[in-house]
Amino acid sequence: MNKVFELPQLKFAFDALEPAIDARTMEIHHGKHHAAYVANLNKALEASPEFFSMPIEDILKGINTVPETIRTAVRNNGGGHANHSLFWDVLNPGGKSAPSGALLKAIESAFGSTDAFMEKFTAAATTRFGSGWAWLVLDGQKQLQVYSTANQDSPYMDHHIPILGLDVWEHAYYLNYQNRRPDYIKAFWSVVNWSFVEQQYEKAR
Ligand code: MN
């Protein structure tokens, strides 16, 4: 399927998320950071080219079948590729500004309300020490869960399906927010594309 993994094109302009996320941050985040994960993933897989035929999500689900010599590189860079690919879709402007329908019902059932969910997700994103991600996932029992992961670890490694993710690495916000991660998280809610999150939920369940 893949000859090699490729950096997906952004579906929106670098400045489309301003003022929540500034253009320069988007340009570096996509063109340098995400691009480096893709390049390093491809480099690692040269040793086991059979993995080029698999979707990145499936490689991560089966991370323990990846040869030990390249497993850490695939975990970090393959995770980075999958996580950022989802993140750009979550941020793609133009969708609904709040959850509705089946996803809203599931959020209310799991967390009580959308506000309670957002509080829980915000807490996970705020308290992740160092670099990582906050997630809303569908777990193996098809239940919604909120948690964070370290570094570029992906929920797919636990056979969970991420439907909403937030990058809390400093490279995602430092130019505009410096050490003010909570301000970045607050601004993030203003640019979430809930139409995409709902589609991701429908695919996952
Ligand atoms: Mn990032």
| d(CA 109, ligand 1 centre) in Å | 31
Strands (DSSP E) contained in the chain are 132-138, 144-150, 161-167
Q: What is the pLDDT of residue 73?
A: 98
| d(CA 172, ligand 1 centre) in Å | 5
Q: What is the pLDDT of residue 143?
A: 97
Q: Average pLDDT in the 145-163 region?
A: 98
| d(CA 22, ligand 1 centre) in Å | 14
Q: What is the pLDDT of residue 3?
A: 84
Averaged confidence pLDDT in the chain: 97
Q: Show the tokens assigned to 126.
A: 């705020």
Q: Show the tokens assigned to 17.
A: 């998320």
- Phi then psi for residue 145, to 5 deg, are -140, 150
Ion ligand 1, residues whose Cβ is below 5 A away: 167, 169, 172
pTM to 2 decimals?
A: 0.97
- Give the tens place of pLDDT for each residue, 77-129: 999 999 999 999 999 999 999 999 999 999 999 999 999 999 999 999 999 99
Q: pLDDT band at residue 1, thresholds of 50, 70 and 90?
A: low
Q: Is the pLDDT of residue 37 over 70?
A: yes
Q: Average pLDDT in the 18-32 region?
A: 98
Domains of the chain: 23-91 (1.10.287.990), 101-204 (3.55.40.20)
Of the chain, the percentage scoring pLDDT greater than 70 comes to 99
Q: Average pLDDT in the 2-6 region?
A: 87
| d(CA 15, ligand 1 centre) in Å | 17
Place of tokens 């323990």: 64
